[in-house]
Amino acid sequence: MKTFDVRRASVAESRRIESAAFGTIGRMSEFDLRKPHPLLVVISGPSGVGKDSVVQRMKERGFPFHFVVTATTREKRPNETHGVDYFFLSKDEFARMIEADELIEYAIVYSDYKGIPKAQVRDAFASGKDVVMRIDVQGAETVRKLAPEALLIFITCESEEELERRLRERKTETADSLSLRIATARKELQQLDAFDYVIVNYDFHLDDTVDKVRAIIEAEHLKVKHRQVTL
């Protein structure tokens, strides 16, 4: 007569049930856990607060985002590269893009046109990448209307005096244009409630600002209710 080991049978049966249960849970989680949609991240704020520097440092640190290149009709500065910093277009070329409905948004900023080409954003979304765009406050408001689920981050500096100092040090402004930019910045600060987050970009703390932007994006991807942008 064979001896039946109840203890061994119980252990084996428990393991079989446990394995089946964990296998079921694993399969359920694969189907039930919703993958986050790509984010449309808008980096905005007054002229002179360091938007360009923030985005440039994000690129230098190899962040896995698609960085939108803005089209503009303004003159190229000596340190800028066409197709990298901006697409520098003539006003006739820009007008053709408007007529063909090839822009997500466009606006007149200090007598020049700026706009975001649609194709870049759609192609990046299709590849599953988050899209980062650097635009002025007026443009950010337009994007919010077109894409309410966009993630808007307002970059500023610690004071009006600091903003004026930064603008003067760029040496790209006349006295009149400097006064205009300061007045515009005051008005743009009144639009802060239209944004989701605000970051003070302190002088000599650029990486701290970039770390905060990255943390915001990561936190958004961990939310139970994901943002879903449709363009």
Domains in the chain: boundaries:
40-221
Q: Is 2 exposed, middle or buried (0-12, 13-18, 19+ CB in 10 A)?
A: exposed
Q: What is the pLDDT of residue 34?
A: 65
DSSP 184: H
DSSP codes joined into one string, 82-149: BTTTEEE--HHHHHHHHHTT-EEEEEEETTEEEEEEHHHHHHHHHTT--EEEE--HHHHHHHHHH-TT
Largest CA distance in the chain: 106
Instruction: Name the 3-class secondary structure at 49.
Output: coil
Q: What is the pLDDT of residue 170?
A: 79
- What number of other Cβ atoms are within 10 A of residue 49's Cβ? 25
CATH superfamily ID and name for 40-221: P-loop containing nucleotide triphosphate hydrolases (3.40.50.300)
Q: What is the pLDDT of residue 216?
A: 98
Q: Is 77 exposed, middle or buried (0-12, 13-18, 19+ CB in 10 A)?
A: exposed
Nearest to 103 by CA among 142, 64, 149: 142
Q: What is the pLDDT of residue 125?
A: 94
The residues near 130 (Cβ < 8 Å, ≥ 6 apart) are 38, 39, 40, 41, 64, 65, 66, 124, 217
pLDDT in tens, the chain (231 residues): 444 454 454 555 555 544 554 454 444 455 556 678 999 999 999 988 999 999 999 999 999 999 998 899 999 999 899 988 889 999 999 999 999 999 988 888 778 998 888 888 999 999 999 999 998 898 899 899 989 999 999 999 998 888 888 888 877 778 888 888 888 888 898 889 999 999 999 999 999 999 999 999 999 999 999 899 987
Distance separating alpha carbons of residues 199 and 154, to the nearest angstrom: 6
Q: What is the pLDDT of residue 163?
A: 85
Q: Report, as residue numbers or ranges, the catalytic residues.
A: 77, 170, 181
Q: What is the pLDDT of residue 31?
A: 54
Instruction: Name the 3-class secondary structure at 153.
Output: strand
Q: What is the pLDDT of residue 7?
A: 47
Q: What is the pLDDT of residue 21?
A: 47
Contact 210, 191 (CB under 8 A): no
